[in-house]
Structure 1
Amino acid sequence: MKLIAEQPYIKVEREMTSISQNYVEDDRRLYLYHDRILSKHHEFPIEQVWDMSYRPVDGKGGLLYLHTSKGVHVYTVKESPDEFIEAFKKLKKSS
């Protein structure tokens, strides 16, 4: 299946040791195909994704929301996902 769009996102994980606490950013990507959206650990059939929205946070990226039939999934992004959202909306409109 041909890739339509991709969106980088990060997952922040906390690492604890006996003497410190560190936060580690894991760079990941969302992939939009004609029939699904893929993340590192999830696959969303396109017919189960109702909408996407974005909320900027303090000028340092923001939160991308995938509204699905199974609930809302939130992804932390460092850059605006406007192109990704627009590609999704065009795909849904043409379906």
Structure 2
Amino acid sequence: MDSVEFLAHHPYMKVTRVIEDNIQKHREEEHIMKLSTNGIETTCDTFSLDEVLDISYRDISQQLGHLYLHTTKGLYAYVVRVNPHLFILKFRKIKAI
């Protein structure tokens, strides 16, 4: 069985809202987005390189930003605490090959 070599990874957060004792709270779970020569893998989704058209990033506050995967299936947004500049550069380098 062939093993996949991950060339880059980047942490992202999944934020869910829960109600406990009639109080709405936000629960954050950290996950890792992984980039390989085959594509991009998240906890819930896997995209081949052909499916990912581009990746972009936008700050939404001083602490948070959105990493956007532009895919043939639609736009997927991920909340990140760290600027994914190096992850995006690695993706574009692989995509150009």
Q: Which TM class, normalised by the smaller chain length?
A: over 0.9
Q: 5 Å matches for 1:1-95? A: 1-94=4-97
Q: Cα offset for 1:18?
A: 4.0
Q: Which runs of 5+ in 2 are unaligned?
A: none
Kindly report structure 1 stretches of 4+ aligned residues shifted beyond 2 Å: none
% same residue: 34
CA RMSD in angstroms comes to 0.9
Q: Which amino acid aligns with 2:64?
A: G
Q: Which amino acid aligns with 1:42?
A: D
Q: Which runs of 5+ in 1 are unaligned?
A: none
Distance 1:70 1:64 in 2: 16
Q: Cα offset for 1:19?
A: 2.5
More helix by share: 1
TM-score (norm 2): 0.92
